[in-house]
């Protein structure tokens, strides 16, 4: 066989990214998949290789194994094993070309890009999968105490995204997005039942197309499998319930948390991560959870005994590319085989006391001016605390010009012109 023919015979195509690669030798009718790639401190790179054939003499699966692709001896050993299955192929040449090409792609990482600084920022920062809670291709984190409704909210968003509909103040992209639920907490039966209840509450007919995978290993450990699902199913939103189990390690460890979020980002899609609070009711574990998430929300609930509804409050704690939104109140009403989600003003619920102090003062004044002692009594705070809030947020409040010492919300166009006795001419509430 001549050299040009030989080169043509062994020509191959390599595709893939992020540690998952596919190779094909069209003229040899051979394919290979290389994944689960890891490099150690000695710069040895190990990977799992699977070789398949459509050749008449060796059709089907040939070999699968984990080898050090930087080791000539390992490649030679695998080549010898493949020769036992099909001696007509120069396996040493096949594996040498494959390992060299994979190493080059793996070590190159993402391609460097020159930044020209001439794009429209609005076109970047206004992209949402579910506005205002999940940015396109970025991670959102929701945390709270156990049984605060986090999983119900995540599934509600999953159903909306899957159906391509907007409801309850959550605006979904017009075209449906496929959702993958990675579950370390419950079971397929329970999740499917909840999805069914939510769909019935929304009046949706037919079937959903939400994918579900029960998880046991950490996300980073099983990353190649998850990536394959994301690509093959066209997933646009991954729900991780919950981060503590997905980390599969000490949540206080920066290394563990950063590895988990690196795995999340490598999926290249939007994600909604669920997490818990610690004994101090703060986000549990390493501060890198806070740093790595683009949007962070804390969820709290109120539910009386024997009530068939949950009042939940969602507090926006972090935003990287957008403003902090107002607190969101939601009521989950459980019926016979369904659950309905409706918006509720937190100011009118027992969760009002969970709001920021400045918002509570603003709420106390929305039906008319009040003196500091009256505000303090309403909010069960000291007068000194209330005075500090009124001073720190002077752009929101104004002291009336009479001698009463009353304060009002600074929302009326002529409120600064008030003189003693005139405030009664205004239409209260100013900020209903």
CATH of the domain at 255: 3.40.50.300
Tally of structural domains, the chain: 3
Q: In Å, how far are 27, 51, 52, 415 from 61, measured between CA atoms?
A: 18, 6, 5, 80
What pLDDT was estimated at residue 423? 46
One domain, residues 268 and 169: yes
Residues 222 and 332 in one domain: yes
Answer for the pair 194, 156: CB distance below 8 angstroms, yes or no. no
pLDDT (0 to 100) of residue 428: 47
pLDDT at 89 over 60: yes
Least confident of 4-18, 163-177, 201-215: 4-18
Are residues 398 and 412 both part of a single domain? yes
Q: Quick one: pLDDT band at residue 412, thresholds 50, 70, 90?
A: low
Residue 132: cis peptide before it, omega within 30 degrees of 0: yes
Tell me, yes or no, whether 194 and 311 share the same domain. Answer: yes
Largest CA distance in the chain: 106
pLDDT at residue number 95? 95
| pLDDT exceeds cutoff 70 at 204 | yes
Residue 304: band (very low, low, confident or very high) from pLDDT cuts 50, 70, 90: confident
Residue 162 Cα to chain centre, angstroms: 15
| Whole-number pLDDT of residue 6 | 61
CA pair distance 88, 176, nearest whole angstrom: 49
CATH number at residue 416: 1.10.10.10
- The whole-angstrom separation of Cα 135 and Cα 357 is 28
CA within 13 Å, CB half, 81: 15
Amino acid 418: pLDDT:
45
Question: Angle of helix 357-364 relative to helix 383-392, nearest 10 degrees?
Answer: 100
Domain annotation covers residue 315: yes
Kindly tell me the sign of the dihedral angle through the C-alpha atoms of 190, 192, 194, 197. negative
pTM of the predicted structure, to 2 decimals: 0.77
Q: What is the pLDDT of residue 405?
A: 83
Where among 56, 78, 108 does a domain terminate? Answer: 108
Contact 409, 397 (CB under 8 A): yes
Report, as an integer, the average pLDDT of 25-30: 94
Range of the domain at 320: 127-350
**Residue 422 pLDDT exceeds 50:** no
- Same domain, yes or no: 133 and 208: yes
**Residue pair 383/365 in contact by the 8 Å Cβ criterion:** no
Instruction: With a cut of 50, say whether residue 416 has pLDDT above it.
Output: no
Confirm whether 431 is domain-assigned: no
How does pLDDT run across 365-383, given as a tens digit for each residue? Answer: 988 899 999 999 999 999 9
Domain boundary among 350, 371, 396: 350
Confidence of residue 278 (pLDDT cuts 50, 70, 90): confident
- Judged by average pLDDT, the poorest of 1-5, 237-241, 271-275 is 1-5
- Once rounded to an integer, what is the mean pLDDT over residues 138-148? 91
The confidence band for 432, taking pLDDT boundaries of 50, 70 and 90, is very low
Q: Torsions phi, psi of 167, nearest 5?
A: -165, 155
397 part of a folded domain = yes
Structural domain ending residue among the three candidates 51, 75, 108? 108
Q: Residue 430 domain-assigned?
A: no
What mean pLDDT is predicted for residues 64-79? 94
392 close to 330: Cβ distance less than 8 angstroms:
no
Q: 194 with 230, same domain?
A: yes
pLDDT at 419: 41
The verdict on 365 and 324 lying in the same domain is no
φ/ψ of residue 85, rounded to 5: -90, -35
Cα–Cα distances (Å) from 148 to 142, 278, 302, 323, in that order, read 11, 14, 8, 25
Residue 122 lies in a domain: no
Between residues 119 and 168, which one has the greater pLDDT? 168
Smallest CA-to-CA distance from 342 within 299, 312, 382 is with 312
174 and 67, same domain (yes or no): no
Whether residue 132 sits in one domain with residue 61: no
Give me the pLDDT at residue 126, please: 61
Distance (Å, whole) CA 233 – CA 249: 29
Question: Do 339 and 195 sit in the same domain of this protein?
Answer: yes
How is residue 431 written in tokens? 């900020």
Report the chain's mean pLDDT, rounded to a whole number: 87
pLDDT at 180 over 50: yes
The verdict on residue 117 lying in a domain is: no
**In the predicted structure, residue 417 carries a pLDDT above the cut 50:** no
303 and 382 in one domain?
no
Q: Are residues 138 and 264 in the same domain?
A: yes
Identify whether 375 is preceded by a cis peptide bond (ω within 30 of 0). no
Any domain includes 116: no
- Looking at the domain assignment, is residue 307 inside a domain? yes
pLDDT in tens, 357-367: 999 999 999 88
């Amino acid at each position: 066989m001549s050299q040009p023919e030989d080169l043509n015979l062994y020509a191959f195509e390599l595709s893939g990214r992020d540690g998952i690669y596919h190779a094909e030798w069209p003229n040899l009718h051979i394919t290979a998949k290389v994944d689960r790639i890891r490099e150690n401190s000695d710069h040895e790179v190990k990977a799992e290789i699977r070789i398949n054939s459509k050749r008449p003499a060796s059709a089907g699966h040939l070999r699968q194994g984990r080898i050090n692709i930087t080791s000539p001896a390992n490649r030679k050993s695998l080549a010898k094993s493949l020769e036992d299955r099909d001696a007509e192929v120069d396996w040493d040449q096949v594996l040498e070309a494959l390992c060299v090409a994979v190493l080059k792609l793996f070590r190159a990482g993402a391609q460097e890009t020159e930044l020209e600084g001439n794009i429209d920022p609005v076109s970047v920062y206004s992209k949402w999968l579910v506005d205002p809670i999940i940015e396109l291709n970025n991670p959102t984190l929701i945390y709270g105490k156990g049984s605060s409704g986090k999983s119900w909210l995540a599934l509600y968003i999953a159903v909306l995204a899957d159906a391509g509909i907007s409801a309850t103040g959550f605006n979904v992209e017009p075209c449906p997005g496929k959702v993958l639920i990675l579950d370390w907490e419950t079971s397929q039966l329970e999740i499917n039942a909840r999805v069914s209840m939510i769909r019935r509450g929304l009046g949706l007919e037919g079937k959903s197309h939400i994918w579900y995978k029960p998880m046991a290993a950490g996300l980073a450990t099983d990353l190649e499998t998850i990536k394959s699902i994301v690509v093959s199913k066209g997933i646009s939103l991954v729900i991780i319930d919950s981060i503590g189990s997905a980390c599969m390690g000490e949540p206080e460890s920066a290394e563990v948390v950063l590895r988990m979020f690196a795995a999340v980002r490598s999926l290249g899609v939007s994600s909604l991560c669920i997490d818990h609070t610690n004994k101090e009711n703060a986000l549990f574990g390493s501060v890198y959870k806070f740093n790595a998430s683009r949007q962070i929300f804390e969820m709290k609930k109120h539910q009386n005994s024997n009530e068939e509804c949950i009042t939940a409050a969602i507090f926006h704690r972090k935003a990287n590319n957008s403003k902090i939104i107002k607190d969101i109140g939601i009521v989950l009403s459980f019926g016979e085989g369904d659950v309905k989600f409706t918006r509720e003003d937190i100011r009118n619920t027992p969760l009002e006391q969970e709001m920021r102090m400045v918002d509570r003062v603003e709420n106390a004044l929305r039906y008319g001016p009040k003196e500091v002692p009256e505000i303090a009594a309403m909010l069960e705070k000291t007068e000194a605390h209330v005075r500090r809030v009124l001073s720190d947020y002077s752009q929101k409040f104004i002291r009336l010009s009479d001698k009463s010492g009353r304060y009002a919300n600074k929302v009326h166009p002529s409120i600064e012109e008030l003189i003693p006795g005139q405030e009664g001419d205004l239409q209260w509430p100013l900020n209903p």
